[in-house]
């Protein structure tokens, strides 16, 4: 029965190709997701550093209200980036926890600049916010995000 051997060969070849294709697709999707996680983490770190820098050293010669507007714009972008971290890494992940810590620490800088500009402090913002605490939280976020990207787990 040479015909049966040909059919068995074709079917096994098709099944093998299908399994290979499915594995390749799964691997490519996982790689793309890890890439998105990495980009989101990098974006969050850059935005957090921008907020920290603007809160610590407003541009020289710039009126306080303009410096506050720059800080608030950077702050809004940081909050958006933190939400993306929660979305990609998982709300209960270690990376999301440290992203929330960073935003909490940085909120005090926003309040300080608001006070200097004569604006009302944000009642939603958390207190505290020492530079060392912000730096520690940023470092812990980076470590947690890197570990999670490598593991690709939430």
Report long-range pairs for 141-145 (Cβ below 8 Å, ≥24 apart): 141/41, 141/44, 141/45, 141/48, 141/95, 141/98, 141/99, 141/101, 141/102, 142/41, 142/45, 144/93, 144/94, 144/95, 144/97, 144/98, 145/37, 145/41, 145/44, 145/85, 145/89, 145/95, 145/98
Comparing 93 with 12, which gets the higher pLDDT? 93
For 83-111, what is each residue's pLDDT tens digit? 999 999 999 999 999 999 888 888 876 66
The yes-or-no verdict on residue 57 having pLDDT over 90 is: no
Closest CA to 58 of 117, 104, 122: 117
CB 70 within 8 A of CB 47: no
The yes-or-no verdict on residue 129 having pLDDT over 60 is: no
Average pLDDT of the chain to the nearest whole number: 79
Structure pTM? 0.69
Closest CA to 42 of 92, 88, 107, 73: 88
Dihedral sign for Cα 113, 119, 123, 124, please: negative
Burial class (CB in 10 A: 0-12, 13-18, 19+), 9: exposed
Comparing 128 with 144, which gets the higher pLDDT? 144
Structure tokens at 69: 């507007």
Q: Looking at residue 83, what is its pLDDT?
A: 92
User: Locate tokens 């594995």: which residue?
Assistant: 23
CB 129 within 8 A of CB 106: yes
Structure tokens at 97: 């926890």
Which of 7-21, 54-68, 74-88, 122-136 is modeled with the greatest confidence? Answer: 74-88
Domain assignments of the chain as residue spans, ordered by start: 37-151
The yes-or-no verdict on residue 126 having pLDDT over 50 is: no
Q: Sorting pLDDT into bands at 50, 70 and 90, what band is 125?
A: very low
The yes-or-no verdict on residue 47 having pLDDT over 90 is: yes
Structure tokens at 141: 């976020």
Comparing 121 with 151, which gets the higher pLDDT? 151
> What mean pLDDT do residues 98-126 have?
67
Q: Looking at residue 117, what is its pLDDT?
A: 59
Q: Looking at residue 44, what is its pLDDT?
A: 95
């Amino acid at each position: 029965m040479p015909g049966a051997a040909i059919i068995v060969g074709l079917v096994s070849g098709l099944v093998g190709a299908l399994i290979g294709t499915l594995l390749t697709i799964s691997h490519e999707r996982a790689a793309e997701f890890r890439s998105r996680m990495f980009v989101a983490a990098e974006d969050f770190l850059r935005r957090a550093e921008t907020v920290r820098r603007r809160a610590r050293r407003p541009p020289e010669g710039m009126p306080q209200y303009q410096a506050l507007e720059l800080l608030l714009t950077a702050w809004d972008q940081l909050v958006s980036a933190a939400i993306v971290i929660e979305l990609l890494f998982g709300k209960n992940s270690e990376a999301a926890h440290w992203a929330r810590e960073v935003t909490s620490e940085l909120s005090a800088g926003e309040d300080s600049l608001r006070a200097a500009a004569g604006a009302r402090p944000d009642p939603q913002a958390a207190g505290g916010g020492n530079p060392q605490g912000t730096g520690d939280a940023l470092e812990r976020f980076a470590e947690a995000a890197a570990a999670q990207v490598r593991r690709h787990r939430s």
